[in-house]
């Protein structure tokens, strides 16, 4: 079974631009979560989508948004990029069933975003 | 207060020896899951092992085992017979129950270096 895929793998943008990152979950997984990883803040939860609906959200400004499609693929958008948005963005998928505290999230390879 | 604490920023181990990576957690939930992930320099988060709060036995997965001490709220990862390929960042993570929306919270990580 194919793992979680993320595109693009690397991205360079300038301040003020916007960016869209894509994530394809493991087949059969309906939950997709996004994380931001920086050296200073570590891994921080952005949001989770399940059945095309945002089910959970972290403490990030409204410039960070996402969506999920009917095939469970998800996109994350960051508008008006700031230098501090430079990070590794990781997507993770899981089945999304009940007793979710037991569910393992499987991560993709990440997208490295550099904002100049 | 930090939910997940990894007190060892860096650890060194000789090839073929065992190493223990520490993790303590803080939660008031009765239902929670504890996870360990490995992150090589490539960036991908690789799932290693899971321990549920109701599991009475310590989890094991090949060379990985989890030393779960519920009363002390610790979930240390033990890697036996270290290999050079084990050199990576290791993250402890917790997924709490419904009250926390099942968000996955990570520690700061431990950088493990395996010496030949």
- For the cut 80, the answer to whether the pLDDT of residue A1 exceeds it is no
Mean pLDDT of B73-99: 94
B37 with A109: Cβ contact below 8 A = no
CA angle A45, A46, A52 (to 5 degrees): 120
pLDDT band at B96, cuts 50/70/90?
confident
Cβ A17 vs Cβ A49: under 8 Å = no
B44 with A104: Cβ contact below 8 A = no
- Spell out which residues of chain B touch residue A112, defining contact as CB-CB under 8 Å: 43
- For the cut 90, the answer to whether the pLDDT of residue A54 exceeds it is yes
Sign of the alpha-carbon dihedral angle for B28, A54, A84, A23: positive
Cβ A78 vs Cβ A14: under 8 Å = no
Mean pLDDT of B59-86: 97
- Spell out which residues of chain A touch residue B29, defining contact as CB-CB under 8 Å: 101
């Amino acid at each position: 079974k194919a793992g979680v895929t993320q595109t693009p793998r690397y991205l360079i943008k300038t301040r003020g631009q916007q960016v869209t990152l894509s994530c394809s979950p493991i087949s059969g997984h309906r939950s997709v979560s996004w994380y931001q990883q920086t050296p200073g803040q570590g891994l921080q939860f952005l949001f989770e989508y399940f059945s095309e609906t945002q089910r959970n959200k972290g403490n990030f400004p409204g410039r960070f948004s996402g969506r999920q499609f009917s095939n469970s693929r998800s996109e994350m958008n960051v508008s008006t990029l700031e230098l501090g948005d430079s990070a590794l963005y990781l997507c993770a998928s899981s089945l999304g069933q009940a007793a979710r505290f037991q569910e393992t999230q499987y991560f993709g390879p990440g997208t490295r975003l550099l904002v100049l | 207060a930090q939910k997940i604490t990894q007190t060892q920023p860096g650890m060194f181990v000789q090839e073929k020896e065992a190493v223990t990576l520490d993790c303590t957690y803080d939660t008031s939930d009765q239902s929670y899951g504890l996870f360990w992930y490995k992150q090589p320099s490539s960036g991908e988060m690789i799932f290693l092992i899971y321990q549920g709060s109701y599991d009475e036995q310590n989890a094991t997965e090949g060379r990985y085992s989890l030393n779960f001490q519920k009363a002390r709220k610790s979930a240390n990862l033990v890697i036996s017979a270290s290999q050079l390929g084990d050199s990576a960042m290791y993250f402890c993570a917790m997924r709490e129950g419904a009250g926390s929306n099942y968000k996955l919270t990570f520690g700061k990580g431990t950088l493990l270096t395996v010496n030949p």
